Amino acid sequence: MGGVGFDPLNLEARTAPAPNLPWVADQPLPPVPVPATMRELAPELNRPLALAELTDLALRLNARTRQAWLQARADAATLGVERADEWPQLSASGGWRRGRSVSGTTGAPGNLLTTYGPTVTLSYILYDFGQRAADIEAANYRLLAANLAQNRVLQEVAFQVEQAYYRVLAFEHLVRASRESLKNFETALDATQRRRSSGLATAGDEYRADTQVGQARLVLTRNEGELSKARGQLANSVGCRQTLRCSCRR
């Protein structure tokens, strides 16, 4: 059983084969269910949303807000556990036993005996040199810190949503302006080509106009990429899934 290939816990099949190799699943991974809240809000996320609506969604969907809230509830439960020491502890148990004794000299069996009965224990700490009060005070401060941390998380999430929201609006205006600029340069290029065909412009004028069109297209592509990234940041701040689209309106 102590051979080299012995693997009673099946570790080789459940983990990566080596520290430098990734783990590969041997069967399809379980699907991640869509939360009920996300299913209810899916129609709402497909329409343009104002900043106040996005902030409200972020406070409900962002994982950080739920984590901070659950941490505060856990600390509140810990405080309740510490306060339980202020009360007496009562424990009860019951037992039932049945046996027969055997004579040590003759070996003859004795009478069958059955014993049973409850046991109740009551204990209370009268004095513990301040340990109980110190534990309760420490739990109180941990709960206060958790509640303040939750408030800070709410403020940070709202601030991130606001930043991402106005970033999306800014790049939407930049994309709109870049498209208008590209149209103007394309019109200028067309006019320059007509002038050159009529002998009123040189090849250098046409090349300069063509260069301006190419630069305008590059700026438009760059701004469109920044707009897509800003929308992704907004969706991440709100807590949306990638399959859902977050938009905004002024």
CATH number of domain containing 111:
1.20.1600.10
Is 3 within a domain?
Answer: no
| Number of structural domains in the chain | 1
User: What confidence score (pLDDT) does residue 177 get?
Assistant: 95
Tens of pLDDT along 61-70?
A: 888 888 899 8
Distance CA 173, CA 230 (A): 13
* Residue 247 resides in a domain: no
State the Cα–Cα distance between residues 170 and 173, nearest whole angstrom.
5
pLDDT for the residue 125:
78
pTM of the model: 0.63
Taking the C-alpha atoms of residue 217 and residue 186, their distance in angstroms, rounded to an integer, is 10
pLDDT on residue 3: 46
What is the DSSP-derived secondary structure letter of residue 129? T
Give a yes or no: residue 128 inside a domain: yes
Residue 121 CB coordination number (10 Å) = 9
17 part of a folded domain:
no
Predicted pLDDT of residue 244:
45
- Look up residue 72 and give its two tokens: 């505060």
In a domain, 7, yes or no: no
Q: What is the pLDDT of residue 107?
A: 61
The answer as to whether 65 is a domain residue is: yes
Give me the domain span that covers residue 103.
35-238
Residue 26 domain-assigned (yes or no): no
Which residues face 114 on adjacent strands?
98
Is 225 inside a domain boundary? Answer: yes
Q: What is the pLDDT of residues 107-160, one digit of tens each?
A: 666 677 788 878 888 887 777 788 888 888 898 899 999 999 999 999 999 999
- Which residues does the chain have with pLDDT short of 70? 1-11, 13, 19-20, 32-46, 102-110, 241-250
Contact at 8 Å (CB) between 174 and 166?
no
> At what angle are helices 131-197 and 203-238 packed, to 10 degrees?
160
